[in-house]
Amino acid sequence: MFVWRYCIVKILVINTGSSSLKYDLFHMDDERVLFRGRIDGIGLEAAEHRFSGTDCPAVSGRAAVPDQMAALKIMLDTLQSGCIESLKDIDGVAHRVGHGGFHRQAAVITPEVIAELKRMIPFVPLHLPAMISEIELCMSLMPNTVHVAVNDAWFHTTMPPEATLYGLPFEYFEKKGYQRVGYHGFSHAYVAERAAQFLGLSIQDLDIITCHLGNGSSLCAIAKGASVDTTMGMSALEGLIMGTRSGDVDPGLIPVIMKEESLSPDQVLEMLYSRSGLAGLSGISRNMQDIEKAMEEGNERATLAFKAFCHRLKRYIGAMLMVLGRCDVLVFTGGIGENSPRVRAAVLQGASELGFVIDQEKNVQPDPWKNRDVLDLTGPAARSRILAIQTFEELIMARQCADVMNRGLSADR
């Protein structure tokens, strides 16, 4: 049984992605980040580990990090050597989960919650196994700390039924709960809130399209602060072309491929999740920077992969615009959205009649993120504001963790 502390001060947020691990230690009195680390390129030859804290300078280095468990051990060692004396100093841990099943709101992690997460692995095979292993390892190392699962799909619980239903026999929804749930909720929520703050407007007065573009990518239509549609579905495979994920594929093609290639269901899923997308199309890399470099060198497959990525993105921005009826703000975020002027320019080329005009000079400015987290890229005569915003999913996760712990504290008093 958990014993709730009467002073929730330090919350560690662990954000496990498909190829990255981000961690932030917050002081929740003022939402200040005490320590922050990023491990990017997990599974590649040389992953990069960057970390910094209030009492230590920024440090960066490269090393082989074969999997998420190796990354987690590096994180815990780094925290104890540079920020805290003991893991006991941490009051709560927020663990991002890619699909919580019926636990779509933040919840204290219990054996029942873990069992539900394991049931969802077929829908998120790229992320959930590592997330669950990370949770179990952290709980074993920090048994007296409150561990909270914060659900990536939380933000999309406001989607109307017509946006969540698949065109399958209704009993699949009614009896099994198969429906579109969406992902990247923390990122979409944060950048929408930050966009409204940057513009000095209430989010209740805005219709926003957010584009989270990274190794995993999705769009979200946000009306008056609420998600009303998104591009990912029950799994993180639906929608846009991604780093190694296919995005939308005609379902009728799948059994044909399985028969022709003699693939099992698990094998075809592995192909769709891990050998498709930018990597599969280009034959080069899942990384957009590598794709763009190859394009500059005249690689035709890299150029084709880039164009396919941008075409799919254009198609879905148009779909989100029709869902909302208007777009006051278009936001780019995530590793590609924040750092690829080429993608932003290509996607908005020819979109002036829809109100999207990007300022070409601002879009390619050198060192764009120096001392700021928002870029206003709005061009002349645009009807929609065009922003690039550095996402901060971890802050939303820390707040949700603190809210769950405070509710437990109130109930205990």
Token reading at 254 = 């799948």
Q: How far apart, in Å, are the Cα atoms of 63 and each of 36, 39, 97? A: 18, 10, 26
Give the H/E segment covering residue 261: helix 253-261
> Is 339 a known ligand-binding residue?
yes
> Is 96 a known ligand-binding residue?
yes
Catalytic: which of 152, 207, 229, 328? 152
201 vs 43: CA distance, rounded Å = 42
> Is 393 a known ligand-binding residue?
yes
28 vs 41: CA distance, rounded Å = 30
Identify residue 49 by its one-letter amino acid code. Answer: H
Residue 152 catalytic? yes
> Is 335 a known ligand-binding residue?
yes
Which of 396, 360, 392, 390 has the alpha carbon at shortest distance from 375? Answer: 390
Which of 9, 51, 50 has the alpha carbon at shortest distance from 26? Answer: 9
> Is 5 a known ligand-binding residue?
no
> Is 275 a known ligand-binding residue?
no
> Is 214 a known ligand-binding residue?
yes
> Is 22 a known ligand-binding residue?
yes
> Is 15 a known ligand-binding residue?
yes
Token reading at 75 = 């994180």
Q: What is the DSSP string of 128-160?
A: HHHHHHHHHHHHHH-TTSEEEEEETTGGGGGS-
Give the H/E segment covering residue 187: helix 185-199
Contact 26, 33 (CB under 8 A): yes
> Is 338 a known ligand-binding residue?
yes
Binding site per annotation, positions for Mg(2+): 15, 393
Binding site per annotation, positions: 15, 22, 96, 212-216, 335-339, 393
Binding site per annotation, positions for substrate: 96
Please identify every residue annotated as catalytic: 152
Binding site per annotation, positions for ATP: 22, 212-216, 335-339
